[in-house]
Every structure is written in structure tokens, then in C-alpha cells.
Structure 1
């Protein structure tokens, strides 16, 4: 059974043009043993971030938090209603380091089925359906875990149509990911989003990846330890000049409590409060509008299939 082309939000499927200004990669809830004490668990803090984002003109947020890392899917519909911000949430699996051995062992042999169920039936008892699949590569390589999760993601894509979003470790491994997903596993490039390209500012690799037809997300600005804000205009201009302006996405990727605006960090509003005017000064208002408004809808709107 096939439904109309739409973006799957926590409140139901909507046309791409209804997303509005979109933070294409962020987190309202997230918890990992790799970030002890920095978990995103507070509903009131999530509400405050969304409210602040909306005050800057934000219309949608895509939460990339995958299976087992505290998505709190049951809280998302109410947060969307209360703030007026559309929310897309994810299924998928992160790098192995974020999970205990028992959790991973319990998913062996059924990972693709879990992804498909969360995309079509809902996440646990909440009934909230995921709108994309998030997986992750390693540093300049794809280990056995990455190949396992990406193979399951490809199976789930072929069953449902869902877009696959990929965490690139420090922005590396983009071409290896495309060779696996789009080459070996047959996922159309336009159904792949590569995340964190800003963390490895290799403009040649960026152009090669974009030429495949995939989407490139520049996410996680405001971090001094990443090659982000000051190089981002040049990277985006290179890609736009090469004809890839319709493949670019922007996101905030807030992953720690300290990074939230309510705790004194840049948080979700920073993307629109500081990054948007900075990019507009260099790239022009029209291109930045397309990156924030048009491109996310095309990246996430799919012809949903139900197996």
C-alpha cells in the first residue's frame, strides 16, 4: 500500500511545503553513556527550546535521536501542539559505543523489522511514527556495526520509502557511506542525508558527495572544536556554485544540556539568530531561504509504503 508524498511528523503526515523554516538535525531528547550528566531529559527545557526557536521564525525540527537513546516519543506530539513547531523524529541505531552489549544482542536478526515497525506502526506504545532512519559511520571507515545498521536501514528504506540520515564521524567517510548505501544496497541517493560535513571541510569530497544526488547537512554550529561557523559560508558557496544549492541542509545538533539556550548555551535559536544572518550576508537571502525551507521538505517528503 502506498500513500501520498509527505513528510511524516509526530502529528501525522504533512505536505513538504508546510514545514516552514526547518532545523534539519537537532535533538529535543537524548541520552548516551558517552555524555554522562549531559542528558536531554527535561520536557520543560525541550518546550523552552522549541518556543525560542519558534520566536526566531522556526517552523520545524528534525530530531535525529535513534532507538534506545531516550527519544521520549510520547512527549513529542504535545510539545509540537504547544509550541506550533512541527517535529519529525527518527528510528535507527547509532554507533555501538552508545549501547550496552545486551541491547545490541537483542536486536540481532530483527533490526530492519524494528525500523520498519517504528516507521509504519509507531515507537512503542506511543503510536508516534518515525519519519526517517538515523545510522552512523566511523572515523574514516565503516566497521562491522556500521555495515550492519546501514544494511538494516537500506532494507527499511526499500520497505517504506523512508529517508536515511547518516552521522559521519567528524564529517569523514562520506564516499564510503555512499558506496555502501547507494552502490551495494541500492538506496537512491536522493533518499540519503549525510550529516556533519562541516566538521571535515574538504570541498572536493563535498562536491563529489553532492554530485551523487544526496543531501548534505551542515549541522552543529557554535562549537569551537569543530571546523564550523567560519568555514561554513565558503563550503556552502562552493557547493552552490557547483550547482548543488538544492542539496544543502542546516541544523543545530544540540546534544548536551549545557548547550541549550535555557542553560546559557546557543541552543536551537542560534541557528536562526546568528547562523542565518551570517550566511545571508555571504550567500544571499534567496539561497539561505531555500536551504532552510525548500530543501528539508524535499529531503524528507517520500512516497510512504506500508509492507
Structure 2
């Protein structure tokens, strides 16, 4: 079987991605972030241009269904900037939606996800390249279980990867118990996000041993007091033999964060001091090419 990554411009060979921001947002809207929406196409273009100028090749947008993805504009942005873009289907935590929206989709989530992965999102013709779901703080509530069940069904029908928002980096093992244990998803198709926000090296090691992808995403959010632990966490995993499971992303969610270029302008050289240029290049290029390939 020939693998490919599904971008907003169509399927591409994994080796065409170049340097990858494995988790970010060009557009996102939520009642949890009033007045801080990412909803400016000119700003999105500027961030992509800056990312490209720093050597960036592809951005994976984890914005799921119902959160202002502005899917119709992504192909033009990708063409204009020369940066590949991967879009997401899926569903975030319940707090990010109105009750009416959740009532409208609750009974058809798997069909919604499959449709957006295979047929296209709305009438745009753009197909999603991953399924985004979310856990809770140190556990999984009823909504999380429901969305992960639907994500697992959609994965089994399409082989699309599943990316998981871990609330403050917690609950990774609960997610793997459900998705990979009960629901039969192959661990290599699961991407665990925000592990930098909960620097428990033992949990990181157990998740890596299970075979999942470990995303350290969100270093642009400088208010996180755990950011300084990320280089040591990555080094510990690499030294334990799990360098091939690591991913990096910017996770820009508000206009006042430094933006996706920060990943390459500041985070990359900082990590190169700890890990070496070769390993950082592997994390930014080779690993995401495998993680997001179907």
C-alpha cells in the first residue's frame, strides 16, 4: 500500500512535507476564548509566509468541526504561500460548543468524520487529513468517550490518524487505554498532544513504549511554566530509544501568541543545543511524515 498525507490541495507523498509544524491553528474560534479568535486571513497569510521564510514546509491545523476552520480559504492560502496545510475533522471538548450544535451532531459523529475525510468538508471539496478529539483533565468524561468512539470507528473505516488534545498534558494513558485497548486503534495512528504541559517523564516513557506519537506542541505559549522542561523531556525519550516517536508544534490559539514562526526561529535552535541538529531535523521532518501518512 502506498502511503500519502492528505493536504487541502490533495494527497501528497510524505517526503514532500518538508519541515512540519505538527500542531497549529490558522483559524480557530471558541466561546472559551472570547475576543481572542484567530479569524483574520491576512494574519494567517503572514504567519505562513514567515514560517516558509524560516524553512517551513507544512502546517497541520488541528482545528476540528464547528470551531471556525474557514476551510474554503485554506487551499488559496496554501497555494499563495507555498506551505502545505493539513486540515482536521473531529470534535473538541464540549465546552467549546453550544448545546444546539452538540445535539445536532451527537448521533452521527462517525459518519460526519468519515464524510469529511473522504468526501470533503461542506461544499468546499477539501478533505480532512486527520481526526482531532480531546480528553479531560486527568481523565475522560462522557463527551470524550463518545467522540473517541466515533473517532475510532472513522479511523477503522479510513485509516486516518487520530490527534488527541490532552488537557494540560494529562490523561495520556487513559486515552491509550480507551483508543488502543478497548477500541482497537493501532497506537502508531494516535498522536498525543501537549505532553510538554505535564512533564511527567514516566508517563511520557509509558506512552512511547505503547507505540503512540508524542507531540510537544505549544512552546509559543510562553505563559506555560513547564516550557523549560521540554528539552530535557525530549532528550530523555531520545536516549531511551524513542526519538522516532517525537513531534513538535506551535499550537497558536490566540492572536497575542508569537505564532508558528516561533517554532523555527526560537524553539528549534534552543532544542539543537540539547539534542543536536540531526535529531531536531528528524523530529521536524521524518517523524511527522510518518505520523500523518495514511
- TM category, shorter: over 0.9
Q: Which residue of 2 aligns with 1:175?
A: 173
* 1:37 corresponding residue in structure 2: 35
Which structure is higher in RCO with an 8 Å CA cutoff and minimum separation 6? Answer: 1
Which ranges of 4 or more aligned residues in structure 1 deviate by more than 4 Å?
A: none
Report the equivalent of 1:291. 283
Which residue number corresponds to residue 263 of structure 1? none
Q: CA RMSD in A?
A: 0.8
Alpha carbons 1:16, 1:297 under 8 Å: kept: yes
Match among 99, 104, 107 for residue 106 of structure 1: 104
| Alignment pair present for 1:300 and 2:292 | yes
| SS of the residue 2:133 aligns to | strand
TM-score by length of 2: 0.99
> 1:193: which partner in 2?
191
Q: Taking structure 1 as the reference length, what is the TM-score of the superposition?
A: 0.95
Aligned length: 294
Give secondary structure in 2 for the equivalent of 1:13.
Answer: strand
Gap regions ≥5 residues in structure 1: 260-265, 303-307
Structure 2: how far apart are the matches of 1:224 and 1:200?
15
Gaps of 5+ in 2: none
CA pair 228-82 structure 1, distance change in 2 beyond 3 A: farther
Structure 1 distance, partners of 2:90, 2:197, is 22
User: What secondary structure, in the 3-state scheme, does the structure 2 residue paired with 1:209 have?
Assistant: helix
- Distance in 2, matches of 1:27 and 1:274, equals 18
Instruction: Please give the residue correspondences for 1:231-250 in structure 2 after superposition, counting only pairs within 5 Å.
Output: 231-250=229-248
Aligned counterpart in structure 2 of residue 19 of structure 1, from 17, 20, 26:
17
Q: Which residue of 1 aligns with 2:87?
A: 89
**Secondary structure of the structure 2 residue equivalent to 1:180:** helix
Assess if the C-alpha contact under 8 Å between 2:110 and 2:154 holds in 1.
yes
Whether 2:271 is the aligned partner of 1:273: answer no
